[in-house]
Amino acid sequence: MYEALINLAYVVSAILFIFGLKYMSHPRTAVKGNLISAGAMLLAIVLTLAALKMIATYVIIGLVVGGIIGAVLAIRVQMTDVPQLVALFNGFGGAATVFVAGAELLRPNTSTAPDVMLAAALSGLIGAVTFWGSLVAYGKLQELQIFKKPIDIPSGAVVNIVMVAILLLLTIFMAGSGWSLIPYILIVVIASILGVTLVVPIGGADMPVVIALLNSYSGLAAAATGFVIDNNVLIISGSLVGASGLILTQIMCKAMNRSLVNVIFGGMQSAAAAS
């Protein structure tokens, strides 16, 4: 009964996320939209804590530590450095899904049903790509020394396709066998490499579009995590971000007079041309 009420209250949170996003896309209501969305998040967190049987002290400490780190980074950043900070935050969100799905797999009572395993594998896969891709985007925008020269990955496209194929096989294996831990770690490791090799060849000017796309990915990763822990608010808000992020990516591409395919593969061609 109590749990059902909590789940019902999550709907309020989901509706507020929808209105928040809607308001965010108009200049006059954007500030309000962000505040509504923040309120929705606060409500979701409070409801989650209320549903727990007991709240351990270290969980609160974790919230405080994360909150202070996030606040300090956001308040102290120079406005010109905001895009790379957004990339960094996005990466953290992706990493969080990797750890949440990982933690679920470590629990003794987690179901090994194919759908749960599939969702866990996808959380790890998309989350790891998001994390490492975002870190590379951060590094490029921050103009870190290693990214100053264009990095050429020999036959990068082939390497990426091979990695995607291995990832798909591991995901299918994990869903089919229910044997999770080692396949999951392999998926996370290979997806981490893929995140780097996907973003490294793309030029710095295209980074905003890449971050927008990775933002869409982190939403999908959150939605996949929602399937792992069977939580509707994660599924709804994750897929909202996944879908609206994809549209935003497209709009940003158009504004730059580029196509998405051009951004993703254009970098590879220019890297090949330079070599």
Partner 1 sequence: RYDALAASLTIFVLAIFIGFELITKVPPTLHTPLMSGSNAISGISIVGALIAASAGDAPLAAIVGLVAVILATVNVVGGYLVTHRMLEMFKPKR
* Torsion region of 178: left, alpha or beta (phi above 0 gives left; psi -120 to 50 gives alpha): left
Distance CA 221, CA 239 (A): 9
Distance CA 66, CA 96 (A): 12
Q: Enumerate residues 102-121 that contact partner 1 by CB under 8 A.
A: 102-104, 106-109, 113, 115
Tell me the CA distances in angstroms from 107 to 31, 99, 100, one per residue in order.
41, 13, 11
Amino acid at 37: S
Q: Give min distance, CB of 257 to partner 1, in A.
A: 12
Write down the least CB distance from residue 147 to partner 1, Å.
Answer: 21
**Which stretch, 14-22, 138-146, 163-171, 261-269, contacts partner 1 (CB under 8 A)?**
14-22
Please enumerate in sequence order all residues whose Cβ is within 8 A of that of 238, keeping only pairs 6 or more positions apart, or say none.
219, 220, 221, 222, 223, 224, 225, 226
**Options 223, 263, 268, 271; binder of partner 1; rule CB under 8 A:** 223
**Amino acid at residue number 82:** V
Q: Which of residues 43-102 bind partner 1 (CB under 8 A)?
A: 44-45, 48-49, 52-56, 58-59, 62-63, 65-67, 69-71, 73-75, 77, 79, 82-83, 85-86, 89-90, 92-93, 95-97, 99-100, 102
Is 229 near partner 1 (CB under 8 A)? yes
Binder among 135, 187, 244, 271 for partner 1 (CB under 8 A) = 244
- Residues numbered 175 to 204 that lie near partner 1 (CB under 8 A) are none
Which lies closer to partner 1 via its Cβ, residue 37 or residue 192?
A: 37
Give the list of residues 6+ apart from residue 89 with CB closer than 8 angstroms, or none: 70, 73
- Minimum distance between the CB of residue 228 and partner 1, rounded to whole angstroms? 8
Question: Which residues neighbour 47 within 8 Å (Cβ) at sequence distance 6 or greater?
Answer: 6, 9, 10, 13
Give the total of residues touching partner 1 (CB under 8 A): 100
